[in-house]
Amino acid sequence: MSSERKRVRKAVLPVAGLGTRFLPATKAMPKEMLPVVDKPLIQYAVEECIASGIENVIFVTGRRKSAIEDHFDFAPELEHFLEDHGKPELAQMVRDISGGIHFSYTRQNEALGLGHAVLTARELVGDEPFAVLLGDVIMESPVPATRALIEIYEATGQGAITVQEVPREELQFYGVISSSPGKIPRWGDSVLRLNDMVEKPKPDAAPSNLGVSGRYVLPPEIFDYLDQTEPGAGGEIQLTDGLRALAAKQGLWAHVHQGKTHDAGNKLGFLKATVELALKNPKFGNEFRRYLKTLEL
């Protein structure tokens, strides 16, 4: 266990991937900037950070990703234009995008895997615990998924990751965990002791139906484990390997997500997320529902 327990203030958002599952849309445009209903995918993750009390978001970017920096930067010309044209509410919306938190950027020169992307943020994170959020996963729950992990870290001094129940036939696309009861009364069955995990198992080799869903709160020691991880296929450094070492040496919790997860990083998942979130939209959700009902499905 970490000797010193620090507050979780920083979050790493890796956005340097090539988005190959989304071609041709992602040839020139970052996957994380694809809009789901009315805002880019990555903004959902940043809003989750803000709602979770994060103060500093660190983007791990790559080539062709400058639209992400622009999106979270100040836009004084646009704000003045909207003010001058009688649209102060839109000007405020533009100002609110960055939510008053601090943004930093570092570059992953080659997309060598999620573990490598997290390791790239080492200097900016420093010697403190931090969150990791995958920008192509939107998570909905009364308590934000990252907030729940931070609370577990702050109560135990150990890292925690979000898992969710996954239909058996889809487990092959996930990291799948094996676990034992967490035995922390405050969280009941929703917090488990993570024993091990397997990346993308064959359907009959999955150790459980709990898949890793893209939210993590980790102690800084994870950087040492990632540093020692041997690159796998394609020279990639997998976050899973670092997490397995962390679980074995320091302990790691798994929090079973108490809400909805939208994996919008592939085309079908993106379409489902778009429809489900559009149906919930307070302005046009009802009209959209009526429209869907007119379709011969």
Sites of contact with ligand UTP (CB under 6 A): 14-22, 31-32, 60, 108, 111-114, 116-117, 134-136, 265
Residue closer to ligand UTP, measured from CB, 45 or 254: 45
Nearer to ligand UTP by Cβ, of 267 and 280: the residue is 267
User: Shortest gap between Cβ of 93 and ligand UTP (angstroms)?
Assistant: 24
Nearer to ligand UTP, 17 or 182 (CB): 17
Residue whose C-beta lies closest to ligand UTP: 17
* Smallest distance, ligand UTP to C-beta of residue 114, A: 5
**3-state SS track over the chain:** CCCCCCCCCEEEEECCCCCHHHCCCCCCCCHHHCEECCEEHHHHHHHHHHHCCCCEEEEEECCCCHHHHHHHCCCHHHHHHHHHCCCHHHHHHHHHCCCCCEEEEEECCCCCCHHHHHHHCHHHHCCCCEEEECCCEEEECCCCHHHHHHHHHHHHCCEEEEEEECCHHHHHHCEEEEEEECCCHHHHHHEEEEEEEEECCCHHHCCCCEEEEEEEEECCCHHHHHHCCCCCHHHCCCHHHHHHHHHHHCCEEEEECCCEEEECCCHHHHHHHHHHHHHCCCCCHHHHHHHHHHCCC
CB of 18 to ligand UTP, least distance (A): 5
In the beta sheet, which residues pair with residue 10? Answer: 56, 130
For ligand UTP, the closer of residues 115 and 182 by Cβ is 115
Min CB(132)–ligand UTP separation in Å = 9
CA distance 250 to 244: 10
**What does the alpha-carbon distance between residue 162 and residue 243 come to, in Å, rounded to a whole number?**
12
Question: In the complex with ligand UTP, which residue's Cβ is closer, 173 or 288?
Answer: 173
- d(C-alpha 98, C-alpha 103), whole Å: 8
Q: Which is nearer to ligand UTP, 153 or 216 (CB)?
A: 216
Q: CB 180 → ligand UTP: shortest distance, Å? A: 28
Judged by CB, which is closer to ligand UTP: 98, or 238? Answer: 238
Q: How far is the CB of 118 from ligand UTP (least distance, A)?
A: 9
Structure tokens of 231? Answer: 């690159």
In the bound complex, what is the minimum distance in angstroms from residue 111's beta carbon to ligand UTP? 4
Minimum Å distance from CB 152 to ligand UTP?
23
- Our CB check for ligand UTP shows the closer of 32 and 79 to be 32
